[in-house]
Amino acid sequence: MSDRPPQIRVLIGKAGLDGHDRGAKYIAHILRDAGFEVIYTGIRRSPEEIVTTAIQEDVRGIGLSILSGAHLFLFQRIRELLEQQGAGDILLFGGGTIPSADIAKLKDFGVSAIFTPGTSAETIVQTLRGFFDQTSKAP
């Protein structure tokens, strides 16, 4: 038996028409290097594809990288689909060029964390570990 805790499975996705994936790949790499198991969907995925993959892969979190300006719609749509599929317990987080004025709206949609450009890798990993530690201890 291993003393290592089980890996936390997360999906990193690029929803919509946004074709720039440097940030998503960066997050996938830092999470993998921190011991997470990362599934990367690639670019130009629909919210339906992202949610279906997340459920099939039994992930605990979905991270979206969005640069297109469609963040309000995409996060809300993914949260709605997760709820409809009985997977509302999947943590939703993201980052990209998201105006600070929209972060509160995203949190109202059930987005747990938004990481804007310049957020350190250490902050991202520690924040996500904190969220996953809280949810694993919930009854």
Distances (CA, A) of 74 to 46, 55, 69, 94: 9, 17, 10, 11
Q: Does pLDDT of 61 surpass 70? A: yes
Q: In degrees to the nearest 10, what's the CA dihedral of 74, 80, 81, 86? A: 150
The answer to whether 26 and 5 have CB atoms below 8 angstroms apart is no
Q: pLDDT tens digits for 3-34?
A: 556 789 999 999 987 778 888 999 999 999 99
- Domain positions in the chain: 9-134
Q: Dump the DSSP string for 75-135.
A: HHHHHHHHHHTT-TTSEEEEEES--HHHHHHHHHTT--EEE-TT--HHHHHHHHHHHHHHH
Q: pLDDT tens digits for 81-100?
A: 999 999 999 999 999 989 99
Q: Percent of the chain having pLDDT more than 90?
A: 77
- Specify the pTM: 0.91
Q: What CATH number does domain 9-134 carry, 3.30.950.10, 3.40.47.10, 1.10.10.10, 3.40.50.280? A: 3.40.50.280
Q: Strand 37-40 relative to strand 9-13: parallel, antiparallel, unpaired? A: parallel
